[in-house]
Each structure stands twice: as C-alpha cells, then as structure tokens.
Amino acid sequence: MDEAERRVSERSGDAGIGVGMSPDYGAAQHLYVVRGYVPDGKGLTSNGRPVRSGDEITVDDGLVLYLTKTLAEEPSPKSSSPWASSHQETSESLFSPLLSNVVEPCSSTEHPCG
C-alpha cells in the first residue's frame, strides 16, 4: 500500500478507496482506518448508486463505503515515534496477505475469514 500511495501522491494530494460493508471486508476496513483513511462523507453506495434514507438494500459486495486519505508530502509524524513505527509494521505484516485481494470477499468454507 505504501507504493500505491506513493504513486498516487505523484498525481494528487489525496487517495481514495472503496471498501465493502459486509463482514467479509472487516480486515480491509480495519487496515484502511489504521492507515489513516476516513469516510468521504457521502455515505454508502449500493451498486454504484448513493443509498438514501429509507432505501431497502441488500448487504452484498455492491454495498460500499468510500474512504479518503490526505497524502503528506513530508515525512509522517508517526515515523518519529518508536511505538507508531512498530505499530505500523505490525499492522502491515498482519494484513499484508490481504493486500493482493482486498477487493474480493473471503469465501472460504474450510476456515474462518478475517
């Protein structure tokens, strides 16, 4: 994710990503929060359309919350804190196997997901 954010920062000061709202996406939701992403303030979308108050929706892979992050041009303050540095490394190592398929929900029937 560091490399992806670095590439985005060459073109924009902000990065954005959509994450599913079903429990299958729980690890990705956590990862993005740990990395500093916050909701974009526009609410949920269902299959690309905004969800409005009173809408009946199905919680599936099409239910998405978009998150954004301001990308700093200077070194992050977290790099000056030993705790933050080790915390970041720990969270990244925990979630690194998920990075390649973060847009796909876990569908394993052999072991619990997330």
Domain boundary assignment for the chain: 2-99
Q: For position 72, what pLDDT does the model report?
A: 77
pTM, entire model: 0.62
User: 67 and 37 in contact (C-beta within 8 Å)?
Assistant: yes
Q: What is the mean pLDDT of the chain?
A: 76
Task: Say how far apart CA 108 and CA 110 lie, in whole Å.
Answer: 5
Q: Would you say residue 68 has pLDDT above 70?
A: yes
User: 85 and 79 in contact (C-beta within 8 Å)?
Assistant: yes
